[in-house]
Structure 1
Amino acid sequence: MLRPLLTALILAASPAVAQDTAFGGMRADITAPVEVAADSLSVNQADGSAVFTGNVVIGQGEMRLSADSVTVVYGEGGQSRIRSLEARGNVTLVSGPDAAEAQAASYDVETGNVTLTGDVVLTQGQNVLTGDRMEVNLGSGTAQVQGRVRSVLQPGGN
């Protein structure tokens, strides 16, 4: 029990390294519909995008993403097929007991990959992990954190 904890702490103290983490509850049904709610919407027909602003909340299955603004990029077939989401400002990603905060996030809807950047903070119960960048695969529930990674692990925690 002590050895994995020491290994995690040593890895967490290392500057500018990548750390893999199980993202237990941070899974999503990437085939589920994407629902978006916001205070306002601006659509650009020329480039096939839409910008949602003000109290933006996006849901897909059990996953929720909130931000100040989100740009939705549509793929072939118009607005019925979302290719990606670009979130900016006060970004929070929640699924089950796991939550992540960042300054920005990019979600590739087709692959189920989310990249969070800028002062990333991941909380799993009482455990906290921080870094500059976190890449999450929502299909597998795995994540990789990069850039000045730090961990606070609670004894006896999962």
Structure 2
Amino acid sequence: MNHNLKLTLSKTLLKQAALAGLVVFSSAAAFAIPSDRNQPISLVADRATYNEKSGVTTYSGNVIIEQGTMRLQANSIVANLNSQKQISSITATGGPARFQQQTEVNKGLAKGQAQKIVYNAQTGIITLSGNAFLQQDGASIRGNTLKYSMNKGDVEATGTPNSTGSSSGRVQIVIPPSSSKSFPGARD
């Protein structure tokens, strides 16, 4: 293979990897504070592959993607594109996969982690599975599986059945004292 063809192929792969990186973050921008969208995207991984025919981009080996306050770290991230080159799903896996982002200017960082994090662009649902955990400003929720609907704004938490009454494997929710008044039925 001649040098010019190798250089052209390298440039093409780089452009495709950058495009897929932008696509990964376009879905996360829905949660971001406005200033995050204007920040550069940084993506580092040990390996990046893109298959134009299948529309699958894979980043593997200590993958870290950052844009403004948003940070996603995983062992691997797979982005699936549809025929219009739009994101259809993103799957991050790790031991665990972790993310953080400031969703509102007046709130602290929202942080989450799970063995697997899947974003479905069609449904707008993010599913964290395998010891899933979300926290922000002292409030937290833990379960085997957490599903967050970006469209509806609701969270569904599922634990593992436990007949012993212990908290192990069950859904756990922590509500800080200052937040308790915001829940229906809370007393002063």
TM-score normalised to structure 1 length: 0.66
Richer in strand (by share): 1
Deviation at 1:143, TM superposition (A): 1.5
Provide the secondary structure at the position in 2 that maps to 1:141.
coil
Alpha-carbon distance in structure 1 between the residues aligned to 2:179 and 2:123: 31
After superposing the two structures, state which structure 1 stretch, 134-143 or 114-123, moved more. Answer: 134-143
Q: Which has the higher contact order (CA 8 A, sep 6+)?
A: 1
How many corresponding residue pairs? 127
**Corresponding position of 1:128:** 140
**Corresponding position of 1:42:** 49
Task: Report the AA paired with residue 172 of structure 2.
Answer: R
**1:94 aligned to 2:100?**
yes
**Corresponding position of 2:121:** 109
**1:83 aligned to 2:105?**
no
Cα pair 2:55 2:83 within 8 Å, conserved: no
Cα gap change, 1:141 to 1:135, in 2 (>3 Å): same
Deviation at 1:141, TM superposition (A): 3.4
Cα pair 1:65 1:93 within 8 Å, conserved: yes
**Corresponding position of 1:71:** 78
Unmatched segments (≥5 aa) in structure 2: 1-29, 103-108, 160-169, 181-188
Provide the secondary structure at the position in 2 that maps to 1:111.
coil
Cα pair 1:28 1:60 within 8 Å, conserved: no
Alpha-carbon distance in structure 1 between the residues aligned to 2:127 and 2:134: 13
**Corresponding position of 1:28:** 31
Alpha-carbon distance in structure 1 between the residues aligned to 2:81 and 2:122: 11
Cα gap change, 1:62 to 1:108, in 2 (>3 Å): farther
TM-score normalised to structure 2 length: 0.56
Task: Report the AA paired with residue 86 of structure 2.
Answer: R
Deviation at 1:101, TM superposition (A): 0.8
User: Highest Rg: 1 or 2?
Assistant: 2
Richer in helix (by share): 2
Unmatched segments (≥5 aa) in structure 1: 1-26
Cα gap change, 1:86 to 1:54, in 2 (>3 Å): same
